[in-house]
Amino acid sequence: MAGGRRWDISLVKSALSRLARAAALDQPGPYQLEAAIAAQHSLAPSYQATDWAAVRRLYDALMIMKPSPVARLSRAVATSHVDGPEAALAEVDGLEKDLSGYRLWHATRADLLSRLGRDPTANLRRALALATDPAERELLARRLASVP
């Protein structure tokens, strides 16, 4: 959980100190941007209170340095919190060619469809079929069982 509930605060502080020193060099690289994204999540008192606009700006910068479909998918999650699920769904659907075999693409799309009041069943089923982690499979199965 964010906000220190499950984070080792001393390690978070140490990481933030290192990140600040790296930022002071004013030569950000992809690892620094990824660390800054993680810092946004660890500093937020809750998932909902995450500074999603800052997260999206960091992903925008990361996409310039190290573009990837998975980073674009993560950016779409931030977009869903900044501009809403409809805007994010357009971003996610644009990644179908690259990520249709990736469980998190399907899980993300299912979440967005659900938030829009649309049927997420097909994407939840595909995410479940692709997932190998037992905890992840359990979560997806619960979500699938709760679809009306």
Q: Which two tokens stand for residue 97?
A: 């060619």
Q: What is the pTM of this model?
A: 0.83
Residues 75 and 130 placed together within one structural domain of the fold: yes
Residues 39 and 93 placed together within one structural domain of the fold: no
| pLDDT digit string (tens) for the chain, length 148 residues | 344 456 677 776 776 676 666 666 666 789 889 988 998 998 888 999 999 999 999 999 999 999 999 999 999 999 999 999 999 999 999 999 999 999 999 999 999 999 999 999 999 999 999 999 999 999 999 999 999 8
Which residues contact residue 8 at a Cβ distance below 8 angstroms, ignoring those fewer than 6 apart?
none
Measured CA to CA, the distance from residue 10 to residue 59 in angstroms comes to: 26
Measured CA to CA, the distance from residue 115 to residue 4 in angstroms comes to: 28
Residue range(s) defining the domain that contains residue 136: 68-148
* Domain containing residue 132: CATH number: 1.25.40
Rounded alpha-carbon distances, angstroms, from residue 90 to 31, 127, 137, 145: 27, 19, 26, 26
